Each structure stands twice: as structure tokens, then as C-alpha cells.
């Protein structure tokens, strides 16, 4: 009889331990996933900086920026995948406040079918201005 009670109490102890682990895991998993998304934003930022560096080299040789990313060695004129393939980057169309040849701005958006889908969009101007969009545009990168 005592052996059966000992086995029963061990089983209850195991069940309690599994429940505690489950609760802790359910609380930690969303935080972990959020940190993974946040760390992968570096892919967009790094790619924007690399494209800007190529634009600056192009500007040095041609005295203008290019709206065609093929001029910078990319495969497509407009949207090109980032280094890790989580975002796409392109040169934005001329606007009154930032027009070629003296100014240029880049945009990065998350790919819809990747882990970053629905995350922030980023912009980078040749003037150094940075923006993040998470519904509305705000200055700086998050």
C-alpha cells in the first residue's frame, strides 16, 4: 500500500512540474519571439546602409544618384531582397523635398511571406534622415 502511495505522489509531483514548466514556457515564448523579430530588423537597416554606400560611390563618379538599382549592381530596377531575404529595398521616386540629382531616399519593407511580415518599414535619405513606420511614420529607427 505504501508503495502505491509513493508512486501516486511521484506522479502528482511530475504532473505539477510539467504544469509549471508549461506556464513558464507560455510566458517566455512571446517575449522570445518578439526579441527574434527585433533582432532581424538589422537585416533591413544593414541593407539600407549598404545600398546608400553604393549610391554615394555612384554619386561620386556621376554627380547624381540613381533610381535604377541595377546601376549599383542589384538584379532589379526597383525592389531587391535584403541580405537575409526578410525585407525588400528600393529607391523611392523623386519628390519635391528630395529630388535627384542632389537628394535620394531609400525604402525597406518586410516581405509578406517571411517571418518579418507586418513589421516596421524603414526609410533612409541621402541627407542622413531616418524614419520608421509602424502605422504612421516617425523620425529615427526603432
DSSP state for residue 113 in the 8-state scheme: T
- Confidence (pLDDT) at 7: 61
The secondary structure of residue 140, as a DSSP letter, is: S
DSSP of 18-32:
HHHHHHHHHHHHHHH
Compute the Cα dihedral for 138, 52, 109, 90 and give only its sign. positive
- Residue 114 · residue 108 · CB < 8 Å: no
Domains and CATH numbers, the chain: 41-139 (3.30.540)
Sequence-separated (6 or more) residues with CB below 8 Å from residue 126 = 52, 55, 56, 59, 65, 98, 103, 104, 105
- The per-residue pLDDT string of the chain (142 residues; one tens digit each, 9 = 90 and over) reads 556 666 667 878 878 878 878 777 777 677 777 788 888 999 999 999 999 999 999 999 999 999 999 999 999 999 999 989 999 999 998 787 788 888 999 999 999 888 888 899 999 999 999 999 988 899 999 8
Amino acid at each position: 500500500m505504501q508503495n502505491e502511495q509513493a508512486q501516486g505522489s511521484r506522479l502528482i509531483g511530475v504532473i505539477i512540474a510539467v504544469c509549471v514548466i508549461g506556464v513558464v514556457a507560455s510566458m517566455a515564448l512571446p517575449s522570445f519571439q518578439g526579441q527574434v523579430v527585433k533582432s532581424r530588423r538589422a537585416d533591413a537597416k544593414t541593407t539600407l546602409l549598404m545600398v546608400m554606400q553604393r549610391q554615394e560611390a555612384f554619386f561620386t563618379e556621376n554627380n547624381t544618384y540613381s533610381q535604377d538599382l541595377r546601376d549599383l549592381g542589384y538584379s532589379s530596377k526597383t525592389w531587391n531582397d535584403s541580405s537575409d531575404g526578410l525585407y525588400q529595398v528600393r529607391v523611392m521616386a523623386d519628390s519635391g523635398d528630395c529630388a535627384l540629382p542632389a537628394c535620394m531616399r531609400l525604402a525597406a519593407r518586410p516581405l509578406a511571406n517571411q517571418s518579418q511580415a507586418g513589421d516596421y518599414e524603414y526609410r533612409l535619405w541621402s541627407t542622413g534622415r531616418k524614419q520608421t513606420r509602424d502605422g504612421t511614420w516617425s523620425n529615427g529607427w526603432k
